[in-house]
Amino acid sequence: MNNYDNFFLPIDNMEEAKDFYGNKLGLNLKFDFSDKGMSAFNVGSEEPAIILKDKNKFLDVKPTIWFVVDNVMETYNDLKGKGVKFLSTPFRIRTGNAAEFEDPFGNRLGITDYD
């Protein structure tokens, strides 16, 4: 794991959530894909963002931390070989590839690369 990537938080009202994170907390909007069920806010000048995921569009969403890795497929195969149970095979996102898994305690984590 090279670094944090993003922190995903489930919400059930996108407009109320954007008001809270943007106006009340004063975070800067990084992107707004509300129509796809996601909006992101930067914390200071850090690259990792808080990404709000609408529970109405992502039915199984849980608070999730993603980590940046050099290569998702290699890391996926390595972790799978160590007994990590992934929620799916790696999938394509706008910036590269990603895969999610849960630790033994039900906390959701993910890996992503940038290609």
The answer, yes or no, to whether residue 96 has pLDDT greater than 90, is yes
If you write DSSP's letter for every residue of 11-70 in order, what string do you get?
ES-HHHHHIIIIIIS-PEEEEEEGGGTEEEEE-TT-S-EEEEEETTT-TT---EEEEE-S
13 lies in the same domain as 52: yes
The answer, yes or no, to whether residue 115 has pLDDT greater than 90, is no
Last residue of a domain, one of 64, 80, 103: 64
Which residues span the domain enclosing 98?
69-115
Cα(2)–Cα(10) distance, rounded to whole angstroms? 25
The answer, yes or no, to whether residue 110 has pLDDT greater than 90, is yes
The answer, yes or no, to whether residue 68 has pLDDT greater than 90, is yes
pTM strictly above 0.85: yes
Domains held by the chain: number: 2
Q: What is the mean pLDDT of residues 2-24?
A: 97
The answer, yes or no, to whether residue 71 has pLDDT greater than 90, is yes
79 lies in the same domain as 57: no
82 lies in the same domain as 52: no
- At 74, list the tokens: 């290699």
